[in-house]
Structure 1
Amino acid sequence: MARTRCFPGPTAAVFVALNLMLTVAQVTAVDVDVGEALALQPGDNANLQCNYTTTQSPSTGSLSWSFNNGSGDVTFYQRLGSTEIPSAGYQGRVTFIGDLSTGVANIRLSNMQTEDSGSYTCSVTVFGDGQDSQSITVTVRGPTTVPPGTTPRATIPLVIAVPVQGWLSPVFECQALWAAILMLAILGSDACGKLDVVKHLAVFGPLVGVALAVVGIILAFVPPNSGNSNQQGFMLIEVLSGVAALMSIVAAIDGVLFKKSGSGVNVPVATMSLEFPLGMMIAIAGTVIPAVYVQQETRVPGIVLGAICVALLVAAFIWFMIRVGFGRKQSSRVSQDFSEASKREAEKEDA
């Protein structure tokens, strides 16, 4: 008997999926180096030095400086490309004296006073290379001086919604990539007549999705994100990851209950029906987050990955619908042929 020739099996598809996810999530390193501690007198200017190296173009770096006097970090200066955002309490005092195109992120703070003593942290984020930060200790000793004609300044904390950092966004989008690969693997196994493989994929495939969702939730609460809900896209990623985890659990339960059907459709319909909206939800959000929240230089990779996931999911869903329609039509034809055969047998017996 001639052996039916099939495309590479689910194992190969899973291997390709894992390689794609590792490639997408690959992160090298940003290396930040700051100057030595400063000891100043009231009224002095502080030149805060910060240099960084990256495998990407240094000009794509996102820079922020924060201050901590023991009461918590307060971001007082941020630079996104050519746009700088000093907090209201530091306007006129902070001057950028670096050059991001060469990896220099120095700033100057004028008219330092004793209340400015503390730790100053330079943080640089580069898409594809992650984030790094280093701190400088500044000590101001002596009587506070106030220039004639001015009033003591008030420091107004600045809350800046920066994009999520590190592995969080890639792992989030990999949930959509895995949903697409899982659907294609199940349909491929069904096409090759491997019902046992379909069964195993329907059970364990969604559990991998649960693991990805849980990893994404955990990554949001460890450095460099550290549970900062002010980050752009943070809450969207957390909520959708939670929803995706619940949907994957339900899909896995359906996989456990799945068995060969007499209707001619031998794929877990409920599992597939859950994986498609789950993947589309993550893929669309994974496209919107970099398109809306991330600076211009880093938008393209996230948008491209989201678009690839959407295309794969749509292709898998079309294949799924064709398979369901063909299976039911085939089952109906078999039932019709069986009924006609039974009718002919009955007529012969009557005769």
Structure 2
Amino acid sequence: MVDPMFAPKARSPAQPAYRISVQNPEPGYTRVKTNFPFSEGDQYQIRQLDRKVGELTRSVSDLQLGQEYLQQVILYGRDEKRLRNMLDTHAEMEIRNGQYELPGHNIQAWADSVLSYRSDGVDQVLYNLLDMVKPHSGVFGGKSLMEICHLRLIDRDNLEKYTEKMQQKAAQVYGLIGGGYAVWITALRIKDRASEIPAKTREMKSELSTVGTSLLKYTKPKNWRADWRCGPAYPADNGKPAKCHPDSKFPCCSPNNWCGNTANHCGCAGCVDFRGKAWRDDLRCGAGYPAPNGQPAKCDPDGKYPCCSPGKWCGKTTDHCDCSGCVDYREKAWRDDFRCGAGYPAPNGQPAKCDPDGIYPCCSKYNWCGNTADHCDCSGCVNYFSLGL
């Protein structure tokens, strides 16, 4: 991961307030002098960071990971470009005899722009970019750009690129956020607001620590293999017996040491399911009650309470297993021929429902599963997807 070493250390409170003098020897050329300790060595680090972020941005620009990823890339693209422009300008600065020199720019206007509270100021830009790692809202299902990138690359078709591209994307995001704080601190210095720098430096360190921890899951050595082998005879990158990735299409290890998703991988003696338990100890179920595997909780099909009621409690009464909105997890509750409702029993013996996670999650009044308005949004229709079960 990139270690930008973004900004010089802040002064101690005992130091005198810093003063800035501005000179304009010629149009479009500004010098700013400050006694805040800052050297050409620090500026060299900024240039190196700017160059590295540019390289990383180009390296991940070819990722084609589906519509959801593209929508987030577009959403954050403006903020990323704005921050790159700020960092580019910062990298152009020169330090001579304790003076900032910024040929071709009004350095005071640049600092004002950076510190603006409008949407293009560094405060709002950084807030938006932090959303790539730590989502502030439920947009995109509450998944961050990094998580969507991870889920798409873990797909079988992209697995070979996973390590390289995830490390590049993580380093790019970390570098952008660190560079944003470096720009912010420099702008404060230029505007003679040095008293604010210690707090901003602490904020930078705190955010980078949090971001770094969040990104670690995408950059640490893999405990799974690209060839889908698993078990003691097949070491992963971390040197330990390979597991199957719980977010992939093949989350279970068979006794024959292959990752897959069938009963012979997930539900047999000697099988290992790495997804984690699909139900909760408090007997809650359905949307709003995530299981240890991160998905909406089901009920233990082999336990005492195998059915989920519309009130999202696991139980075994008719109000849990045999009602509109009930889900019986003991056996499959839907049919392969897409028939549903009264007169069409599922393998569990109950009137068939429609697979809420399938392409046809709704039952029409004519007892067919589908996904049109005549299946999902009519009198007599049942939408099992909207029930969150």
TM-score normalised to structure 2 length? 0.29
Query: Which has the bigger relative contact order, CA under 8 A and spacing at least 6?
Result: 1
Judging by fraction of residues, say which structure has more helix.
1
| Higher Rg | 1
